[in-house]
Amino acid sequence: MRGCLAPHPPHLAYASNPPQNEPKSSGAGAWTALLEGYESLRKSLEDGDFDVIIVHTPHWKTRRGHHLLGVEHFEGLSVDPIFPNLFRFNFDLQVDVELAEAIHAEGEKQGLVMSMMRNPEFRVDYGTITSCYLAQPDFKLPIVAISSARSYFDYSNEVGEREMLALGEATRIAVEKTGRRALLLASCSLSHRHFTEEPADPEDPEFEYIYNANQAKWDRHILDLIESGRNRQILDEMPDFIEQSVSECKDGSFTWLLGAMEVPELPGKVHGYGTVIGTGNAVVEWRLDEQAVQA
Ligand SMILES: [Fe+2]
């Protein structure tokens, strides 16, 4: 198993100009640091020999429990509701339904409310598509996509954290039972307060900078913890981080990832950090499989 923070600003797909995306980039270069970070990640993943990508996405929000894609093939047009000028993406992807069902079953054993999405017309969200595209542009591997339940919002950050650790544990057990070599993607930004106006060219580098010093400081702190392997401390501080930097971690992806990796005392490799509309985004990889081989 290998785990990554793989944020999903649709801007990064737009700037990469894939044939599947209808809008075309101006090439002005506002997000170079993150695009280079993803390039470095893709290179690093080449030795992974994975069977499947499992992604937890903040943009498939489910009112009741945790949902998983449960149909073998999805295709269609995914449009970002906030940035339709940047992201109208023709997606075509395969799903590892057997693994999704195994995670569903293990989640129920953990006491979680779980559900399978069986509608073949379902429009897959842009968080899933962008993170999967940036990690694996040819969509060759099947995916498992997991929704974000509303526990943090309906109850508290602490309740949300407990659920996501349980969901991570369920994911890990299902991966082990099915014998999959899995790449896990937590599709979220770090700090997430953002600008509410867009310049004429959204890719204008002069417009792009972190929203405020407070959230930049939080991001730097979290990156320090990642790079020194203090992942348990990240969880300890997560409720405060979420509140004080309006973090997208409130949708649970990062905590799910740490839970699935059993909160390793392993430094993450930061491939890149940068802002998109003022939000803080880090591309990070934890090479657990490498650690297992060394052990
Ligand atoms: Fe988002």
pLDDT of residue 294 exceeding 80, the answer is no
Per-residue confidence (pLDDT) for residue 105, from 0 to 100: 98
Distance in Å, CA 278 to ligand 1 centroid: 12
Distance in Å, CA 128 to ligand 1 centroid: 10
d(CA 293, CA 295): 5
Per-residue confidence (pLDDT) for residue 290, from 0 to 100: 86
Q: What is the pLDDT of residues 217-271, one digit of tens each?
A: 999 999 999 999 999 999 999 999 999 999 999 999 999 999 999 999 999 999 9
List the alpha helices (DSSP H) in the chain: 10-16, 32-45, 97-109, 126-135, 151-154, 157-178, 213-227, 231-244, 253-260, 288-294
Q: Which CATH class is domain 2-294?
A: alpha beta
Distance in Å, CA 291 to ligand 1 centroid: 31
d(CA 273, CA 136): 19
d(CA 257, CA 133): 19
Contact 21, 13 (CB under 8 A): yes
Q: What is the pLDDT of residues 100-122, one digit of tens each?
A: 999 999 999 999 999 999 999 99
Per-residue confidence (pLDDT) for residue 129, from 0 to 100: 98
pLDDT of residue 75 exceeding 90, the answer is yes
Distance in Å, CA 57 to ligand 1 centroid: 8
Per-residue confidence (pLDDT) for residue 266, from 0 to 100: 96
Contact 275, 281 (CB under 8 A): yes
Computed over every residue of the chain, the mean pLDDT equals 96
Where are the domains positioned within the chain?
Answer: 2-294
Indicate whether this model's pTM tops 0.85: yes
Per-residue confidence (pLDDT) for residue 226, from 0 to 100: 98
Burial 224-234 (b: 16+ CB within 10 A, else e): ebbeeeebeeb
DSSP 268: P
Distance in Å, CA 8 to ligand 1 centroid: 6
Average pLDDT over residues 95-103: 98
Structure confidence at residue 80 as a pLDDT band (50, 70, 90): very high
Average pLDDT over residues 18-46: 97
Main-chain dihedrals φ then ψ at residue 125, nearest 5 degrees: -75, 160
Distance in Å, CA 49 to ligand 1 centroid: 28
Structure confidence at residue 277 as a pLDDT band (50, 70, 90): very high
At residue 254's C-alpha, the angle toward residues 50 and 189, to 5°, is 100
Query: DSSP 3-state helix, strand, coil percentages of the chain (rounded to 5)?
Result: 40, 25, 35
Distance in Å, CA 27 to ligand 1 centroid: 22
d(CA 2, CA 280): 23
pLDDT of residue 295 exceeding 90, the answer is no
Contact 210, 274 (CB under 8 A): no
For residue 232, give both structure tokens.
Answer: 């348990």
Distance in Å, CA 71 to ligand 1 centroid: 24
Q: What is the pLDDT of residues 108-163, one digit of tens each?
A: 999 999 999 999 999 999 999 999 999 999 999 999 999 999 999 999 999 999 99
Per-residue confidence (pLDDT) for residue 25, from 0 to 100: 95
Distance in Å, CA 262 to ligand 1 centroid: 25
Structure confidence at residue 292 as a pLDDT band (50, 70, 90): confident
Distance in Å, CA 11 to ligand 1 centroid: 11
Average pLDDT over residues 171-184: 98
